[in-house]
Structure 1
Amino acid sequence: MRILEAARRLGMTTRTIRYYEERGLIELNKQADNGYREVTENDLSVLQVIGMLRELDLSIEDIQLCLEDVLQSNLKALIPLLQRKREQLGKEMVQMKLLIRQMDQLTAHLQHNKGDDTMNEMSNITERSKMLKQLREGWEDRWNFNDQSLHYDLAVKRHEDPLDVHANYDEILRRTCESASIECGEQGLDLGIGTGNLAALCSAKGAVMTGLDQSEGMLMQCQRKHPDFKLLLGNMMELPLVDEKFDFVVSSYALHHLTDEQKLVALEEIDHVLKPAGRVVVADLMFESEDARIHCMKRLKEAGRQDKIDDIHDEFYADRSRLISWWLNHGYEVQAEQMNAFMHLICAIKKEA
């Protein structure tokens, strides 16, 4: 059939079909006698698939990567592309929600205050918006978690030194899960899910688990081990969630990859998705206070443990007191304990509505 008839059948324009041909997504035969493009039934099927992928807002470049797999019914090849697209949409959604909150704040200010200080209020709101954007966009994976993902489960088991980051790994995950007080059927969110070890313990208690990680490699390993989990690509400062709410949120060995300021942004994001009376349980590398950090660094230097000093400088061990203060100021009940040299466990319970 001619390209015009194919366009009518597919609900496309002839220009669109020619564009897909120009970009190498499809190759149409031309009739020898007149040079007209000939569209076969197989070509129609290919164009239909391309059209569906474009409706998902996948880029031409993404379609070039996955088209052959999709045509051969290997639809799992779509997973990383869909996850990346969802992450992008999630970031746009977070920004839209922030803009709506800013407009609501400014509207409320105008309704209840004289206009004298409106410009100052507007300046404060927009400056906070710029600061949040800088914090969210300023994060980068300096630790190459995609490379770590293939060997992560083995790596966390090989730690005999009590000062090692993953010392007592299994016990710490068990205590984290236990502290979440999970009831069967509850909705749980694991931030920095990695290969799914903590989420698996929560799932065994009857929780329905959703996991988020910024590493595609970690998510691939987690999907392989736990195909029933809902997995999302993204970071905890911009949760790519629409209207989901959770009974509990857990996180282990993840928060220390955020700066102190970024951690507080993450706590706000968690608060937005946590149900009233929900629980947040965080197991991570921390110091009880800034004084405790100074004292520990002094002791490590005296002991000649420059390797551990370097580890601390390479990451962002939290000041536990700052995290606790944030939760207390937002109406949470908080309990905390130190589990080994560097790992602390914090359980924060949100107030009822």
Structure 2
Amino acid sequence: MLIHEMAAQLNVTPRTIRFYEEKGLIQPTKQPDNGYRYFTEADAWRLSTILTLRETGMPLAQIKHVLDEIDAGHPDEVLYYLELQRAVMFEEFVRTRQTLTLLDQMIGRYQPDASTWHELWQLAQTSRRNEEIRQKWQDRWQFDRIATRYDQMVREPKGDFDVHRDYEQGLDLAWKHCQAKPDETGLEIGIGTGNLAGRFLARGIRLHGIDQSKEMLKICRRKYPEIETRLGNFLAIPYPDRRFDFLVTSFAFHHLTPEQKRMALLEMTRVLKPSGRIVILDLMFPDEQARQATLHYWRKQGRPDVIKQIEDEYYADISQLRQWLSDSGYEMNHQPVNDLLHLVVAKKQNRTR
């Protein structure tokens, strides 16, 4: 086919096809005698792939990665890029909701005098700071790299400071105290390789899962293909409002800063039904005094390696967490698994006027 024939078949303009050629996404054959472009069925398939991905808003650089994976014989990797684009779109959705909230606040407080603008400016600055906090999260722990050995790591004893001590016991308690029912649907945030999710699945509970690590999700899908998993994180959960009866998370919440934890609780509340519950199994301290006492103990033991490990994470302050949850309308129960691992169960309270 010539370029105008290809354009007619795909319902685009020749200029569009030339644009993708200039960007290196397609390479049609050119006749040496007249310079005409000739397109094969393979070119038509490649162009239709590009056009399809562009309809999702996927940037050209990412589309090139998709085509490279297909050319390299890795079609399964295409799913990752589709999920990545969906995650990006949900982040935009969260950002749009934040902007709408800001506008509603401004409209509600606006008065036609000069003093109003200082208050509106403060609202705008708060919104901006929140977005900066959201964007600061990054995977400093490289979960894609450790995914294949994660299940072995969490079950190996690690000496006198083992953050995964009582790992299986903790997961069993999380399942038990969630009190999930067969007619309920839950979400696990930071599903990882599916070790907690498997306990729900074995008892016939419908569970979805999200994780920011594509390699962790690959392993989870191999172990539990029945579970719907998506690329996502605490700060932009890729599901609609009031979707789930319960939320669970294990060994993931401590990767958020205190400010990000508060944002995560708001996002978790968004996707939770009004009478839902949150179950958090994680590394925590009862309060700041307990954290400082633990650091003091390991300093006396001459263990800078342990100090560094604790300070590299963001173990939750249970007293602070209780206050956040109470302010958001939850009733919280707490059970220690050991001196570092704790279980928190928060149930949404229906408050009537």
- Tell me the TM-score normalised to structure 2 length: 0.91
- 2:276 aligned residue: 278
Aligned residue among 185, 206, 209 for 2:207: 209
1:203 to partner: Cα distance: 2.3
SS at match of 2:155: coil
- 2:156 aligned residue: 158
1:37 to partner: Cα distance: 1.7
SS at match of 2:238: coil
1:221 to partner: Cα distance: 1.7
- 2:333 aligned residue: 335
- 1:229 aligned residue: 227
1:249 to partner: Cα distance: 0.7
Aligned residue among 280, 289, 292 for 1:291: 289
Distance 1:36 1:128, change over 3 A: same
Q: Cα deviation per residue 1:266-295 (whole Å; 9 max; x = unaligned)? A: 111111111111010101111101111122
Distance 1:227 1:63, change over 3 A: same
- 1:170 aligned residue: 168
Cα RMSD (Å) of the superposition? 2.3
1:94 to partner: Cα distance: 0.6
- 1:145 aligned residue: 143
Asked whether the equivalents of residues 241 and 270 of structure 2 are also in contact (C-alpha less than 8 Å), the reply is no
- 1:105 aligned residue: 105
Q: Cα deviation per residue 1:206-226 (whole Å; 9 max; x = unaligned)? A: 332222222222122222222
The structure 1 segments of at least 4 consecutive aligned residues displaced by more than 6 Å after TM superposition are: 71-74
Asked whether the equivalents of residues 162 and 340 of structure 1 are also in contact (C-alpha less than 8 Å), the reply is no
SS at match of 1:197: coil
1:70 to partner: Cα distance: 4.9
Residue segments in structure 1 that go unaligned for 5+ positions in a row: none
Asked whether the equivalents of residues 245 and 273 of structure 1 are also in contact (C-alpha less than 8 Å), the reply is yes
Alignment-mate amino acid for residue 31 of structure 2: Q
Measured in 2, the distance between the counterparts of 1:43 and 1:280 equals: 50
Measured in 1, the distance between the counterparts of 2:321 and 2:252 equals: 14
Measured in 2, the distance between the counterparts of 1:27 and 1:291 equals: 65
Measured in 1, the distance between the counterparts of 2:185 and 2:340 equals: 29
Aligned residue among 238, 241, 264 for 1:240: 238
Asked whether the equivalents of residues 163 and 342 of structure 1 are also in contact (C-alpha less than 8 Å), the reply is no
1:244 to partner: Cα distance: 5.5
Greater CA deviation, 221-230 or 149-158? 221-230
Distance 1:75 1:181, change over 3 A: same
SS at match of 1:151: helix
- 2:347 aligned residue: 349
1:68 to partner: Cα distance: 6.2
Measured in 1, the distance between the counterparts of 2:80 and 2:240 equals: 19
Distance 1:330 1:59, change over 3 A: closer
- Tell me the TM-score normalised to structure 1 length: 0.91
Q: Cα deviation per residue 1:142-187 (whole Å; 9 max; x = unaligned)? A: 2111111110000000026464100010110110111111011322
Distance 1:162 1:219, change over 3 A: same
Measured in 1, the distance between the counterparts of 2:201 and 2:123 equals: 41
Asked whether the equivalents of residues 106 and 122 of structure 1 are also in contact (C-alpha less than 8 Å), the reply is yes
SS at match of 1:272: helix
Asked whether the equivalents of residues 251 and 282 of structure 2 are also in contact (C-alpha less than 8 Å), the reply is yes
